[in-house]
Homo-oligomer: A and B are copies of this chain.
């Protein structure tokens, strides 16, 4: 396999860790995955990361000699001034020398980038935005992640710790966010936010289909149920989704006003409800974005690669990051 070039991408998630071997055409030729068991010491987790990565290479018929770097996406940042991983809440790590730990096991150049940035990069390289060079991606899951790609490269701010689009302010003095700030986009557009809002609303509207769909136990409410009820025209669910779309459109309009990217990509669990989100969102953006009439607005599309986007993006970090 020595003629062709291969890339090793890694996605460290809170639940699973996945290593993927990617070919030069951005195809994942082999994947290996094990549970992360977050909360363990960094020594154990980084040891496992290396083992899973080597196993993926081995099962793809390759060795470390066949690749030139190890690209890793994780839900945190490395501060380029200190080379420390700043904070990874799900893992219980703060200011840890992650490069040192990783390089004990694999002696290749290592590139670490925020997982939302990797996902955006993967979608631009090989997914929904492969026709474009400039995209903004929002990952709508438990939280809201952001990724910015300019000229086919990740833009993560001057010190590589920006592009935190989920923590831009959407509602002045609004709801308290998990990050401690008030009114962040994440507090209105994550699945957590949608579920919180729905739980509040069902108390005064107990006749809603939402409660039927979760067996009258409001603790069972999740994003899929709210979207399904809206699909079946349940009035409360429709109202909740309408408001959700208004919030999301307002957030996206800010990113358009700043970046005027070619396309906006939505990923994460909430983007599964493509049929309910995309058309109203695109309409709403046209009326709620600066100078939309004069200069047009980019379309919102849904991500195509799912979790693979982050692996592909991570695998190609050597093309986007300076070392």
Q: Give A contacts to B, CB under 8 Å.
A: 77, 79, 86-87, 94, 133-134, 148, 150, 157-165, 167-174, 179, 181-184, 247, 250-251, 253-254, 256-262, 288-291, 294-295
Contact status of A259 and B158, CB under 8 A, knowing A171-B172, A172-B247: yes
Chain B residues contacting A160 (CB-CB under 8 Å) are: 260
Q: Which residue of B lies closest to A293 (CB)?
A: B180
When chains A and B are docked, how far (Å) is the Cα of A79 from the Cα of B253? 19
Contact present for A161 and B254 (CB under 8 Å): no
A170 and B168 within 8 A (CB)? no
Minimum CB–CB distance from A16 to chain B (whole Å) comes to 26
* Nearest chain B CB to A204 CB, angstrom units: 22
Q: Is the CB of A253 within 8 A of B169?
A: yes
A80 to chain B, nearest CB (A): 11
Structural contact, B261 and A295, CB atoms closer than 8 A: no
CA distance A200 to B262 in the complex (A): 42
Q: How far is the CB of A275 from chain B (nearest CB, A)?
A: 26
> A87: which B residues are within 8 A, CB to CB?
291, 294
Query: What residues of B have a CB within 8 angstroms of the CB of A256 in the complex?
Result: 162
Selected from B157, B261, B294, the residue in CB contact (under 8 A) with A258 is B157
14 further A-B pairs in the complex, CB-CB below 8 A; given A158-B259, A167-B291 = A86-B291, A87-B294, A158-B261, A158-B262, A159-B260, A160-B260, A162-B256, A164-B257, A168-B257, A169-B250, A172-B172, A173-B250, A179-B291, A258-B258
Chain B residues, CB < 8 A from A171: 171-172
Alpha-carbon distance A163/B86, docked complex (angstroms): 29
Q: Nearest chain-B residue to A181 (Cβ)?
A: B290
* Cα distance, A150 to B170, chains bound together (Å): 24
The chain B residue with its CB closest to the CB of A133 is B158
19 A–B contacts, CB within 8 A, in A order? A79-B295, A133-B158, A134-B158, A148-B258, A150-B158, A161-B291, A162-B256, A162-B257, A162-B259, A162-B260, A164-B258, A167-B257, A171-B171, A172-B172, A172-B183, A172-B247, A181-B289, A181-B290, A183-B250
Q: How far is the CA of A164 from the CA of B167 in the complex (A)?
A: 19
- Given that A168-B254, A172-B247, A289-B181 are known contacts, is A294 also in contact with B86, CB under 8 Å in the complex? yes
Report the nearest B residue to A170, measured CB to CB: B172
Q: Please, which residues of chain B bring their CB within 8 A of the CB of A262?
A: 158
| Chain B residues with CB under 8 A of A295 | 77, 79, 86, 159, 161
| Residues of chain B with a CB closer than 8 A to A183's CB | 172, 250
Q: CB < 8 Å: which of B161, B259, B288, B291 contacts A260?
A: B161
Question: In whole Å, how far is A179's beta carbon from the nearest beta carbon of chain B?
Answer: 5
| Residues of chain B lying within 8 A (CB to CB) of residue A133 | 158
CA distance A94 to B294 in the complex (A): 9
Residues from chain B with a CB closer than 8 A to the CB of A291 are: 86-87, 161, 164, 167, 179
